[in-house]
Chains A and B, each alone.
Chain A
Amino acid sequence: MGDHHHGPAKGLSRWLFTTNHKDIGTMYLWFSFSMFLLGGFFAMIIRAELFQPGMQLIEPAFFNQMTTLHGLIMVFGAIMPSFVGLANWLIPLMIGAPDMALPRMNNWSFWILPPAFLLLASTLFMEGGAPAAGWTFYAPLSTTYAGPSVTYFIFCIHVLGLSSIMGSINIIATVMNMRAPGMTYMKMPLFVWTWLITAFLLVAVMPVLAGAVTMMLMDVHFGTSFFSAAGGGDPVLFQHIFWFFGHPEVYIIILPAFGVVSQIIPAFSRKPLFGYDSMVYATASIAFLSFIVWAHHMYTVGMPVAGELFFMYATMLIAVPTGVKVFNWISTMWRGALSFETPMLFSIGFIILFTIGGFTGLMLSIAPADFQYHDSYFVVAHFHYVMVAGAVFSMTAAIYFWLPKWCGRMYNETMGKTHFWISFIGFNLAFFPQHFVGLAGMPRRIPDYALQFADFNMMSSIGAFIYGASQILFLYNVIATIVAGDPVSDEKVWDGAEGLEWTLPTPVPYHTFETPPLVK
């Protein structure tokens, strides 16, 4: 073996120069959690200001910076990197590969993220403040009417896009080339399938976003008029380009979450996943449909009626494969032998709340009704049901599910269950009332509101504070587990868990599957 080293290097250089998929996965997860806390802190500021009518704590201009940064950081800094971290940790273990296919690029795609977000956060201290045009940054509010920080924001988006594209190429290369002998595509765990499809979505749409922000850059600094009608351009073009990226983006966020839940539900039902094949086909259909529905975010923009009808029908169709997924999860539970450890609780919470978000999504797809829903708090409630109760709940479930395997220590189950119930109650208290104020006419992204919305907003703020506080408990539980959790040494930490990662020793060694396993 000679100079082959088997353990990690020591000190800072271990993390700075690592090409180990587990180290990089860990860094992604900690980074995304810190971004989750930062984005959450901004959300707390927003909810504190909205606690009662009137301006109390912050100024309207700063409020807009908070909503903008909250959205950008949660989408690009918290949720997306967290699933990339999970992919790094799990895909090689699940397909029996020794590491990712492109380990040095893996290091690079992580390490460009922290500077990008540092740059984004630093805009808060610039003259004119941080970007304030919303996470959707519609032109011309984000171009002609934006402060000087928009240039830094554009650079940040470019770097994030670069990171995502490199990460996706890595995942595609790994899944296509490094599967263990016998691991055919239709034997891959669903988490690997959903990530493979997600990676293709990312490679397809991140360049579109890069194009959009480059056009913004040209408009701001080089005198072009892509998005300015006065110069022959078109502000609506920005929205078309943005949502051509933005709609696949929401599936980029939710598909890996589907994958996670498809691993956890069978484990705690002690029964194989129902309808594996149809799960794969449903994921692929959702991915395909995601490219032809973007303009349902723009029903009120003044499209011709034929376009409006096309996007309405296409959007409604998404309910079919999504329904298939929900039915399959429930059929997996049916006549299983269920137990309700924390990962299962979060997964069931995911199914219930994501389905509610799916229902409101179906309502929003109905174009004529959307003329009342659009840009109201009903939309805010809808996408928090799918983003938070969807993506974040499933991510939380994933951490509780795999953390004992990774570090060989068990988390505190009572604390985990407490975390679930506080999260579940806090989340619903925060976001369910937003359906009502939205339907009753409260627009989104306003720093102050009319008196009839006061009660529900106060409930919503209290719920948000509860949900926010529950994440501190989560952080404590995770650290306590890593430092001093009860040791576990069973290969299968959970008796119902299936898959190659559970054949490895616990805790998982630094290098795994140096000899590929044989999959029957």
Chain B
Amino acid sequence: MGFKAKRLCKLALGPVLLFMSVIAMAAGGEASSINMTPGVTELGREIYDLHMIILWICVAIGVAVFGVMFYSIIFHRKSRGVTPATFHESTTVEIAWTVVPFFILIAMAVPATTTLLTLYDTDDAELDILITGYQWKWKYEYLNEEGENVSFFSNLRTPQAEIYNDEAKGEYYLLEVDQPLVLPVDTKIRFLVTANDVIHSWWVPALAVKRDAIPGFINETWARPTEQGIYRGQCAELCGKSHGFMPIVVNVVSKEEYGEWIAAKQSEATEVKQLTSQDFTLDELMVRGESVYDTSCLACHGGKGEGGVGNAIAGSAVATGDINAHLEIGINGVPGTSMQAFGGQLSDVDMAAVITYQRNAFGNNMGDSLQPIDVYNYKKG
């Protein structure tokens, strides 16, 4: 082999070796930063195995095909003074390389079919959870619990200051929420997935679950986590401006812990219902309203009510005008704009508090307020 051929051989093999070593690295380790996670469900491990089998089949075919090609590149060079052959067909060989891949594909299809059937089998679930995608947050509703229905929104908790590089980024930057979804371990959970506005997709790699959340449809999927822990995911379908900012956090806990948690949530829900019939002072409403504003309004209307994607609140005609018109926008949104209908998202207490807050903060000194019961009555018409 001449000097030039040797050099070329090295150059050509470089990327192949790199590719191979990277693939080999990808194959090792469980919670890898370069490979699919097997996750914490039986189905996830099955999918991972399927992924690895097919990856290795592809690597094997690749080595064979590229091997032949590089042999040719090195030894069948014009510069080595070879005379080109003239053959241009071979029925036997051509039939072989049509039929053999076909059988390899059948070998791949068999385990893939079994796994897919398992993935679709949502029967015998012990717990149903309705997941609704909103621009840009998730709502979780526990359906078949006895007693009060538990439902809540799960918002991004990472502060804007971290996103805009004014503060150091935390360990779970963009993958942290105010209220995670809590699930019991070793329980088959059925997820009913839908959306309220545009299409979203609920993806938690460790649970091997990804389902599109489509307005007007309810998709079913399931998971049976076998290990306790906190698992993180993200919305996987482009859903507008803040698509990258609606993470999912799942906290898988022991069955006992789950029981306590759901009971606490239920009594909290009862409490909120009772609060609706209570009267609040302006100060109480302002304190509650500020925290509601920060989670639900701030992203669009700004920290000082100065506006942004949404209109300014400071000095706005709405926040300084008729209080019922203000409430109407809060409850039903403004169709055709990014102002959503918050009537179904906020409790009556929170709605009363945040409307009151908007009318009395940012220099809007209206002095008027709403009580939860006013919101309740307004909604009833």
Contact = CB atoms under 8 A, between A and B. Distances in A.
Interface string A314-339: 00110110011011001111111111
A185 interface: no
B237 A375 contact: yes
A440 B210 contact: no
Interface string B44-74: 0011001100110010011001101100110
B72 A334 contact: yes
Contact of B22 (A319, A337, A376, A432): A432
Nearest to B206: A441
Contacts of B199: 138, 140-141, 235
Given A235-B214, A316-B108, A441-B233, A275 B94 contact: yes
Interface in A6-64: 53-56, 60-61, 64
Contact of B79 (A270, A331, A339, A447): A339
Nearest to B216: A229
Given A235-B199, A348-B73, A440-B32, A362 B87 contact: no
Nearest to B336: A144
Given A54-B169, A274-B89, A443 B234 contact: yes
B77 A337 contact: yes
Contacts, number: 283
B62 A359 contact: yes
A230 interface: yes
Interface stretch (A158-166, A206-214, A449-457, A485-493): A449-457
Interface string A224-246: 00001110001110000000000
Given A302-B214, A312-B116, A363 B105 contact: no
Interface string B169-186: 101111100000000000
Interface stretch (A78-86, A102-110, A186-194, A366-374): A366-374
B62 A140 contact: no
B24 interface: no
Contacts of A432: 19, 22
Contacts of B98: 278, 320, 323-324
Interface stretch (A91-99, A247-255, A350-358, A471-479): A350-358
A134 interface: yes
Interface in A395-448: 424, 428, 432, 436, 439-441, 443-448
Contact of A351 (B37, B69, B120): B69
Nearest to A274: B88
Contacts of A359: 58, 61-62
A145 interface: yes
B103 to A, nearest CB: 10
B216 A301 contact: no
B86 to A, nearest CB: 7
A436 B35 contact: yes
B113 A448 contact: no
Q: Which of B62, B135, B203 has the most CB of A within 10 A?
A: B203
A308 interface: yes
B216 A338 contact: no
Contact of A60 (B55, B79, B90, B241): B241
Given A305-B117, A351-B69, A428-B15, A335 B215 contact: no
A414 to B, nearest CB: 15
Given A236-B214, A369-B50, A317 B237 contact: no
A510 interface: no
Contacts of A273: 88
A362 B244 contact: no
A60 B245 contact: yes
B266 to A, nearest CB: 30
B116 A308 contact: yes
Chain A interface: which size bin? 35 or more
Give the bracket for the number of chain B residues in contact with chain A: 35 or more
B212 A333 contact: no
A447 B136 CA distance: 14
B164 A235 contact: no
B239 interface: yes
A334 B54 contact: no
Interface string B13-41: 00100010010001000001111110000
A375 B214 contact: no
B223 to A, nearest CB: 11
Given A55-B165, A276-B89, A362-B58, A452 B33 contact: yes
Contacts of B217: 229, 235-236, 302
A367 B112 contact: yes
Interface in A340-395: 340, 348, 351-352, 355-356, 359-360, 362-363, 366-369, 371-372, 374-376
Given A229-B215, A363-B58, A323 B101 contact: yes
A436 B34 contact: yes
B245 A368 contact: no
A53 B212 contact: no
Contacts of A428: 15
Contacts of B220: 302
Given A236-B217, A449-B174, A302 B212 contact: yes
B212 A301 contact: yes
B33 A352 contact: no
B172 A450 contact: yes
Interface string B328-370: 0000000010000000000000000000000000000000000
Nearest to A318: B105
Contact of A371 (B47, B174, B234): B47
A273 B88 CA distance: 6
B88 A440 contact: no
Contacts of B55: 363
Nearest to A302: B219
A235 B195 CA distance: 11
B329 to A, nearest CB: 18
Contacts of A326: 65
B73 A141 contact: no
A383 to B, nearest CB: 15
Interface in B119-148: 119-120, 135
Interface in B206-253: 208-212, 214-217, 219-220, 232-245
A371 B115 CA distance: 11
Contact of A138 (B77, B120, B163, B238): B238
12 contacts: A55-B164, A300-B236, A302-B211, A320-B98, A338-B76, A339-B77, A355-B62, A362-B54, A369-B50, A436-B22, A443-B244, A450-B175
Given A300-B210, A436-B35, 8 more contacts: A278-B89, A301-B219, A363-B54, A371-B209, A372-B36, A372-B205, A372-B210, A443-B236
